Structure 1
Amino acid sequence: MRIIIVGGVAAGAKAAAKARRTGPDHEIILYQDEAEVSYSACGMPYVIGGIIDNRRKIVIRQPEDFGRDGIQVLTRRLVTHIDPEQRQLTVRNRLDDSEERVSYDRLILATGARPMVPEVEGITLEGVLTLRNFADLARFLSLLQTKRPKRAVIVGSGYIGLELAEALHALGIKTTIVEKSPRILPRFDVEMAWHVVEHLVENGVELMLGEGLAKLHGENGRVTTVETDTGTLLAADLAVIAVGVRPNVELAKTAGIALGETGAIAVNSAMETRMPGIYAAGDCCETVNRLNGKPVWMPLGDIANLQGRVAGENAAGGNARFPGVFGTAIFKSFDMGVAMTGLSEQTARESGFDPVSVEMEGSDRARYYPSRRPFFFKLVADRRSGLVLGAQAVGEGAVDKMIDIVATALLGKLTCADLENADLAYSPPFSPVLSPVIVAAGALNNKMSW
């Protein structure tokens, strides 16, 4: 059986490896449009900021590494058409512009997502960049080295935009974030997101909320000024477009493969599309929120890997299932970790729950232990059932630990009463005697009886 995978960054690379383990005798071919395959896009801001000193370090596997496992990886190959009836692909070789028709028995689409780029005047000027793939990273590093920008404007305040603000600040570049929405981090509740705003400002990042991009001005073909839709002019040697991404679904759509409510490819729990024998995984497909049952699109690297594993196994004849997501995510902003899992209080209410919440300040060590680090923590539960619905944590302390505990509680469908009595590790260098998760669960338990 021939399994063809289109796309080879996170989901595609994982699907290929899993398909090989599941079906040792299958022929597996992976087509990758880019020159690089199997790299960590999540590491790119840290390459730019200098924390990772060589961009090659975020490349996980080379084509020859896959080759040793009997997986043929062909880079600079663009799949331009799918013929589901004939089970054939049209593949263009970008090196010589030749085309060929290739047959498949099972197909996995891992075409990812691409940056949203507004159609405004000046968008093609030199110094206007996006950051999504390895080629973008190379352009970024080249510009930083050759032009030595002093002022940058980041348009958009998603995870990439906020991570880049720290990276550029580390390089001594004065940075302004322009965000069309009146707030940042819409998945978080307002009061938790505000802690991040304050931290950014404390670290010298200028935030302009409620202002969108109108146009980009330049001289001699190079960007010099960013103009917002309120007429504000911002000097910029570098403009980063970070207004979000959209699923790369054109190939699937033209082949008649159904899209879901989110605009990404619709799949079932086996990661199979509505065309038998064609699977999808990663940033190009949607999934389901395990708490409210609604379709959701979450272009995150860990989800892509999990989905790729399921798609690869099933394409090779297995019977794996991907149950959906809780929306667990984390990123770093200067000295602050910013993380969440499950539903925010606002989303829980919109999903039909009767949410009750508690927000508190905690720390990751005993109060008397040196170098304790604080953080803000919010826990959300359903008043009617007592079920834990989600949590948010923002601060210098071990926010990842707090969120991972709650994410596991969501997996186990625990109530606040369950979580209040959780047997968690304690020693002064590692935790307060009662974890902030336990304290918050107890407070919520009391609140529910009011």
Structure 2
Amino acid sequence: MKPCMRRRAIAGAALLSLLAACAPGGEDQDARNAPGPEPTITPEPGATGIAPNTPVRVETDSGTITDVSIEQVVPEEIASADTTGEDVESAPELEHTGTLNETGDRWTSDWNLKPGAAVTVIATASDEAGRETEVVSEFTTLPADGKERLEVASTFPADGQTVGVGMPVIVDFGRPVTNKTQVENSIQVVSEEATRGAWNWLTDETAVFRPEEYWEPHQKVTVDLRLAGVEASDGVYGTTDRRLEFEVGRELIATMHVPDHELNVAVDGEKVRSIPVSNGAADRHFNTTTSGVHLTMEKYSSMVMDSASVGIPEGSPGHYRLDVDWAVRTSNSGEFTHSAPWNSGNLGSANTSNGCTNMAPNDARWFHDEVLMGDVLETTGTDRELEWDNGWGYYQRSWEEWLSHSETGEPHVTDGSATPGTVHGEDL
């Protein structure tokens, strides 16, 4: 149960006892005149220098907690300094929700507090006799170090993009994160069609969220990065919350069994095109097309392909440098779909490429124009498997394996419910 959070300014701490009108005479009169419930708030009123990842708690020894609101005011000079260097658009103020226990007498905040903030907590409790008490606590949090703070350096996708059903959420923080569990739990992913997902870490700086299976098409996904107050590493706090929103478009799934020399494209379950192709010659590891679940990462109307970029410099056996059109990247080991008019005699009949998927110019342009970032290319039929961290090969890990590599070890359900664990810096 999560009481609604409403924001209001209170000047100074106060304790207001609101007693219901007295019934005439006797024990009822005495009961109504007896003290009401006495909620307590931690951190206590007047506290200073509170760590931002300290949970706010409200408890009462009688009655139930009926309402809690939290207001945080960050001085202008701190707020303006905290937004520098980030690419993700600022979000409206995110609701500061909390969770009430089953007996209704203990409330704990779901999220951390902003560093350097003046915080006002207003809590109300009531009992069966109708007595209601409101308590206020005002305190301040420790400011973040001006240079040592957690920021978002970049995200994929970008805010407002429309993407394919395989699209992961990739967050690069630009600095190492050691408290990965708390950071994972601070990022809430919500989709219109609820599913399960989990985070894995590519490096200490980069986290990736993927759903158990591909996203349902034609829906909106919201990612709330509730980083304000999370302690990424010792003494390094996030200062700003962010919101990322993107659309999952139609479902485009391309499939290719390499020995068949054909790529088939289905949109929303309907086959729309069969494309004759030529894949890797496979006379060595490098020019063997990888099997597995690829995601389309980026595309170019024209580009220079130089094998030096993937470890085969000029003068080495197998080096090449080609000008190609209508290229779509599907891995970080040099695999693209692209136009290859010089290989027209082998399209649909023989595999002779350097590992890329060669197409006729009109087919390559069609594929380039149709695909979105995060569309799916499922490839089979070769003895070289795509590595899970080669490009966006994240579906190469089974769901069970992916989940086991999450710091929380539990699925994140995208229905707007709580993340798998605490964001705070202490066990609850």
TM-score by length of structure 2 reads: 0.23
TM-score (normalised: structure 1): 0.22
Could you say which structure has the larger radius of gyration?
Answer: 2
| Larger proportion of helix | 1
Q: Which has the higher contact order (CA 8 A, sep 6+)?
A: 2
